[in-house]
Structure 1
Amino acid sequence: MSEAETLDARQETPTLVVVCGLPGVGKTTVAEQVAERLDGLLLRTDVIRKEILSDPDYTEEESRMVYRELFDRARRTVEDGRSVVLDGTFKDAADRDRATELSASLGVDFRLVAVECDEDVVRERIERREGDESDADFEVHAMYREQFDPISMDHVTVDNSEGLDETTRQVAETF
């Protein structure tokens, strides 16, 4: 097989990507760009939560329900032959591990992208949010910062502090 054929075959193999990070860091901005570059389906925990829960209380049980549905949809998408990008905090290492296990069971590549952003920028962005699916405010950001399990697996970090052009450059270098 020639190098070009190998590249074509690799591009046809679905990839499962997790875009994780604290609320307000710009995960969705990064996830949208990754999904576009992979021609993949974007699945957001914020959207799924509102689809399956009429009045979410953001309990641990609700979070388990949302992630269960997220993984079910991801499995179906990959089984249909399409790449999928999962956008959520993934603050629990167990959820990140579950994503790697899912990709291994499906025989597809797995990529983890951690999105970071300066806190002052996060605070400003959260205050400006309008019409976004996320209900997280800066208090939730601070609480999740304390609860976020360290990332111990291979990953790429995108710093979303500088603006869209710089974020786009970083995503393009990775995907």
Structure 2
Amino acid sequence: MIVVVMGFSGSGKSFIASILHQDFGFEWIRSDVIRKELAGLKQEERVRVGFGESIYSEEWTKRVYQEMIERAKKAHAAGKDVVLDATFLKKWQRKMVEEYFDKVLFLMAEAQEEEIERRLHSREDISDADFSVYLKQKEIFEPPEKALIINTQRSKEEIKAELQKVLGIPSASDSQEPC
């Protein structure tokens, strides 16, 4: 199974991806990690450039997404479920994934703007995005035609239960025999 977790910076994409990875065994392919690897940077190294510049240019993004797809193809061929974690704000970015995989489930992480702002101000993470990046992302966003919205302002348990339902993964209580 290929799952794309998309949305604005600070929306909770990586939180959803981490649940899929830790709780359901998905191979987690994260654009932030790959972008810094390709740039020869350490994960904790900060890149402060204007929106869409340097390693955040469209050319770099195509390169990063292509590498994500290559890694996903290898993992998928090995029988693994894969989660791709990136903004995927543009139609061409989502189309790249659809060109390589027959079935892709798109999940759109969402949170209220006040929550996103709070998260981005307090973030200690590999991502370089701040609130100004989020505001620029809103300007260029091309809404997906098909994506299931996941509200990330809920508990991990609530999100996990929703993911189980969406992905058709039985919960521990579903598999218990009645006494």
Q: TM-score, normalised by structure 1?
A: 0.82
Deviation string, structure 1 residues 127-162 (Cα, Å, up to 9, x no partner): 1111x1100000001101111111112x21101124
Q: Structure 1 residue aligned with 2:118, among 102, 114, 124?
A: 124
Alignment of 1:61-140 (within 5 A): 61-104=59-102, 109-130=103-124, 132-140=125-133
Aligned match of 2:14:
28
C-alpha distance after superposition, 1:97-149 (max 9, x if no partner): 22122112xxxx3211011110000111111111x110000000110111111
Match of 2:142 in 1: 149
How many Å apart are 1:92 and its aligned residue? 1.1
- TM-superposed deviation, 1:164: 3.3
SS at match of 1:99: helix
| Cα pair 1:23 1:136 within 8 Å, conserved | yes
> Closer, same or farther in 2 for the Cα pair 1:128/1:147, shift >3 Å?
same
Q: Answer yes or no: is the 8 Å Cα contact 1:113–1:157 preserved in 2.
A: yes
More helix by share: 1
Query: Percentage identity across aligned positions?
Result: 31
Task: State the Cα distance separating 1:78 from its structure 2 match.
Answer: 0.8
- CA-CA distance at 1:166 after TM superposition: 3.5
RMSD (Å), alpha carbons: 1.6
**Partner letter of residue 61 of structure 2?**
S
Equivalent residue, structure 2, for 1:3 = none
Q: For structure 1, which segment, 160-169 or 67-76, has the greater mean C-alpha deviation from structure 2 after superposition?
A: 160-169
2 CA distance for matches of 1:117 and 1:36? 22
Aligned residues: 155
Structure 1 runs not aligned, ≥5 long: 1-14
CA distance in 1, matches of 2:158, 2:6: 18
C-alpha distance in 2 between matches for 1:60 and 1:142: 17
Q: Are the equivalent residues in 2 in contact too, given 1:23–1:141 (CA < 8 A)?
A: yes
Q: State the alpha-carbon separation in 1 of the partners of residues 135 and 153 from structure 2.
A: 17
Q: Which runs of 5+ in 2 are unaligned?
A: 42-46, 48-53, 168-179
Q: TM-score, normalised to structure 2's length?
A: 0.80
